[in-house]
Amino acid sequence: MSRTLKRKAQSARKVAVAQGAARKVNRARATTGSAFDRAMAALPFSDETLHRIFLACILGAAAVLAWMVASFAGIPAMAQQQLAAVASDAGFEVRRVDVRGVRHLNELKVYERVLAERNRAMPLVDLQVLRASLLELSWVQDARVSRQLPDTLVIDIVERTPQAVLRKPGQLVLIDAEGHELEAVSRANAKGKLILSGPGAGQQVAALMHLLEAAPALKPQVREAEWIGNRRWNLTFKTDQVLALPEGDKQSANALIAFARLDGTNRLLGGQVAAFDMRAPDRIYLRIPGRAQQEAALQAGAARKTEAD
């Protein structure tokens, strides 16, 4: 004969405790769900975009896991090829190039370096090699290369700043503060820019700029600067007048300041003097066109008068 065993009914206290716990769980679920829903609604993405983002995250996590497993197994090259194939099939390959920061550089030169990566699977793009290739361009001071999944390479270019024009045999070349040659320019495009000349002048750009800062009022009046004997400067002003400065950073700066003061009180620039020589520490020599001829004529006239007497 079978018997049916009946469990003892729960007490009212236990029932109340269980119901209270259930209510707390339901409230927590409702609060969490509503907060999550609100957060998702606040994102500026459509459902399709979110789906692609989640898919990219999942594929990325799977790719990292596959790479780690392959590395531990000693077959990274095979794993990389397999990973690249999977990524390419999923749409993770280079289809677009976004170049930023270009002002003076011919943008086509950047694309020439990057287009070799077109249609390549994203994991196979060597960002460091590509960056090194971009740094070979004359205008590029720095370059940053990054992936923008799923299909874009972003190229951020930091250009060099043109500082002056270097006169070389047969051509004019734009250079930066370090003397790095950027590109050849025509005489028309060089107009208005400071022109340097003389052997080694390109490596003295920063020193020259520091010298000109000693006399800010004269700086915009300087048209050309010639580096003489790898030791001193001759400055040519827009008035075609030439100022010969002494050797040494301190000596040349003091001479330039003294000349600026003299110009402020005596209007030297634009006057009859063609050249000013300040290489002597305690005096300035002036060269006036035609003065020698005038003196010779005076001496000849005086001699004729003496003979007549």
N residues, the chain: 309
Select the more confidently predicted residue: 272 or 309: 272
List, in order, residues 6 or more apart from 287 with CB less than 8 Å away: 273, 274, 275, 276, 277
Predicted structure pTM score: 0.63
Contact 142, 169 (CB under 8 A): no
Per-residue confidence band for 122, with pLDDT thresholds at 50, 70 and 90: confident
Per-residue confidence band for 304, with pLDDT thresholds at 50, 70 and 90: very low
Q: For residue 98, list its beta bridge partners.
A: 154
> Which pLDDT score is estimated for 202?
92
List, in order, residues 6 or more apart from 90 with CB less than 8 Å away: 55, 59, 150
**Terminal Cα-to-Cα distance of the chain (whole angstroms):** 174
